[in-house]
Structure 1
Amino acid sequence: MIELGEFLPPRPEASWKLIRQVGVDNVVGGLNGAEQDQRMFPSVGAGGWRPDDREDVPWSERALKRNIEIYDEYGFRLVATEDTAPLDKARLGLEGRDAQIDQVIEQIRAMGRLGIPTLAYNWMALSSWGRTDIAIPARGGALVTGYRKADTDALPRLVDEGEVTHEQMWDALAYFLDAVVPEAEAAGVRLAMHPDDPPQPFDRNLPRIMSSVAAFRRLAALHPSAANGITFCQGNFALMPEVLDGTTAIPDLIREFGTEKIPFVHFRDVKGTPAEFQETFHDEGQTDMPACMEAYYEIGFGGVMRPDHVPTLDGETNSRPGYETLGRLFAIGYIRGLEHAWYGHPAKRSVRVA
């Protein structure tokens, strides 16, 4: 069966009870002290998660153990961590990267000892997932986030043109994987690379290398191992060139990568292209979501799946664009319904073995 979860930083809030009440007991956690910052919304300046005041090194075993204890108090089980020690020097291949890689290895070893099986990470240096609008009116007046590349033209550049190359970042990724994948294998932890968001060749002069299906095939070939996996974020894969031009479809990619490469799924959807798109409710985007769930069933997927980037509904403040509560509850119900349709009633289901 699917391990349906939600992303919850380790700071209890009122929404936790609601999420438990609708049947979710798995958590994809952040690190303590993590804070949703302006890098995500460079043109609109939105903020988000409040920082933690604990003094533990966030990626240490002691800090992760305390996170587990906090989740456990509310009936949640930590099944993945979607946050890492700092990585920008490693992503860019700069001096000091070995120290950053050692910190990630410390985190992986701690996760292995604590039984946290999945570590999601990304290769977006100097920024995070980017949006240029956080309040686009959608169905019934709900608010969604969106992106227009043209709106980033007046923003400060991340690097000078030509200062960083795509191959420099690929070389840095290969160096990282060679150091980290053996540690993940030994710890029983699966790495899960998240696509660039948006999936585009450059962000303000800085190359982006995880922006196509071809890039993820190259990732798999760099260090063949079940520990070298993918965060299969459907919203980003839906914007990749091979999907937009009809060469392939999301369900076909799920079957291609299979459980060997997919330990973790962001089940979400969008409308548009990398140059201009917006988030959607799960039932009105451009992807055949029931067909995706059918594909997960066919490959025998039983890993972690969570909704992501949901609309803000009436009465909510939109202080956390994409992560308010009511849209999450809608998404959880939608995903659970599709899961039951394909995997069967929990009392009777059996996951097909690929």
Structure 2
Amino acid sequence: MALEKTWRWFGEKDNITLDMLRQMGVEGVITALHHIPNGEVWSVEEIMKVKNAIEEHGMRWSVVESLPVSEGIKICADDRERLIKNYQQSVRNLGACGVDTICYNFMPVLDWARTDLHYKLENGGESMYFDFPTFVAFDVYILKRPNAVEDYPAEIVEKAKVVFNSMSEEEAEKLAHNIIVVTQGFIDGVINGSIPDYKALFLEFIDRYNGYDKAKIRENLKAFLDDVIPVAEEAGVRLAIHPDDPPFPVLGLPRIIGQLEDYEWLLKANSSPNNGITFCAGSLSARKENDLLDIINKTAERIHFVHLRNTHLLEDGSFYESGHLFGSQNMVKLVKALLKEQKRRQTEGRKDFNMPVRPDHGIKMLSDYNNNYNPGYPLIGRLKGLAELDGLMHGLENNI
């Protein structure tokens, strides 16, 4: 049995409709209540509006992505108690409505980062690119974060200086706006772009983590799990943490879910089977030391949700998104391991055997250029990825 084919849908404002998803063979929808501010309770009424709309189109609401973890929880601010109670109630309400899996992340301030949202591939398609020297140029010379130069290798800082000196003021401003606003605004980011001096506000958010190292953020994540997982168990809901993207430190911020040792820590920090992971091949593959097959094999029992795409890595830590099947990772081996785990669960009689999978991001192509899709989320490029992954899964099924 193939993994459940799902699709990330951004609600009624999404140019891609539920009617279209049904025509494409999507089985499950990945979405969130994007209209509810971070930290507020998701009511049963609002959850059911979305759930009913999805089910009326013959699909199910497979995974919530995401129920955002507010910054006040990540740093244990004065309003943490209120935010935790609201999060717990949202989990209860989702469980009561029959929505059983929540993808979330614990990334400080910045959810994900790319320096080029329109990177041209050789075939004419358009992808997204993280150029390490360009990102450092943003941090050191455009954002001007205090002491930022100390957080990067000297050779990268030198390259960053060359990159910055070649930029016009307009290009520098566009880079900052893309990193802080454009990539974050549609996923419940901390800054929506309505503030004129968004760079200053971004620096304020970063400064809140002054003195926080990896150990401290781990401590706060464990406290979050200890407060929320018991509620999730009672509600019949599984939590699946998404890895950091990219999975290495940026902006002087601690990154705590980016490699196998982080997952091993996470699963020991709270041993409940409801405390699990989102296996995101794209994010994890951006760190060259990561052995993704090893990560699957050693965390298999706690994989609740899957994102599949590939990347092409460069020597200096840069990378670009190379589609779903081909790149630095052997997608055949990864999908085979995931199918094997799902079959093992079925054989054991587990009710929660399924691991929903979605094509994560996609190459902009063909009529995608005629529509204003969210960065990384074109229609045709993702549909191509869905078809490729579906074919790969069905081709492997009889060999598991």
Alignment partner of 1:175 out of 214, 219, 223: 223
Residue 119 of structure 1: which of 102, 115, 120 is its match?
102
Partner in structure 2 of residue 199 of structure 1: 247
Deviation at 1:152, TM superposition (A): 2.6
Partner of 2:28: 26
Partner letter of residue 66 of structure 1?
K
Q: CA RMSD in A?
A: 2.2
Residue equivalent to 1:53: none
Q: Which runs of 5+ in 1 are unaligned?
A: 36-56, 244-248
Does structure 1 residue 285 correspond to structure 2 residue 327? yes
Offset of residue 174 of structure 1? 0.9
Query: Superposed, which structure 2 residues align to 1:200-219 within 5 Å?
Result: 200-201=248-249, 203-219=250-266
- Please give the residue correspondences for 1:1-354 in structure 2 after superposition, counting only pairs within 5 Å: 1=1, 2-11=3-12, 13-33=15-35, 59-153=42-136, 154-155=138-139, 156=143, 157=145, 158=203, 159-160=206-207, 162-201=210-249, 203-240=250-287, 242-243=289-290, 249-258=291-300, 260-272=301-313, 275-300=317-342, 302-317=354-369, 319-344=373-398
Bigger shift: 279-288 or 14-23? 14-23
Partner of 1:50: none
Paired letter, 2:261: A
Bigger CA radius of gyration: 2
Separation (CA, whole Å) in 2 of partners of 1:276 and 1:233: 18
Whole-Å separation in 1 of the counterparts to 2:41 and 2:48: 10
Residue 314 of structure 1 and its aligned partner are, at CA, apart by 2.6
Q: CA deviation at 1:164?
A: 2.3
Q: Distance in 2 between matches of 1:287 and 1:241?
A: 10
- Work out the CA distance in 2 between the residues paired with 1:139 and 1:290: 23
The 3-state SS of whatever aligns with 1:80 is strand
| TM-score normalized with structure 2 length | 0.74
Closer, same or farther in 2 for the Cα pair 1:319/1:26, shift >3 Å? closer
**Aligned equivalents of 1:149 and 1:58: distance in 2?**
38
What's the CA shift for 1:319? 4.1
Distance 1:86 1:297, change over 3 A: closer
Give deviations 1:283-334, integer Å, cap 9, x for gaps: 3211111111111122126321101111111332364221010011101111
Aligned length: 318
* Residues 1:252 and 1:166: Cα distance change in structure 2 (over 3 Å): closer
TM-score (structure 1 length as normaliser): 0.84
User: Is the 8 Å Cα contact of residues 131 and 147 (structure 1) preserved in structure 2?
Assistant: yes
Q: Distance in 1 between matches of 2:392 and 2:246?
A: 27
| Superposition deviation, residue 268 in structure 1 | 1.1
Question: Within 2, Cα distance between the matches of 1:74 and 1:306?
Answer: 18
2:171 equivalent in structure 1: none
**Residue deviations 1:148-183 (CA, integer Å, cap 9, x gap):** 232233343443484322222111011101101111
Percentage of pairs with the same residue: 30
Deviation string for 1:224-271 (max 9, x for gaps)? 11111000001122223542xxxxx3223212211x210100011111
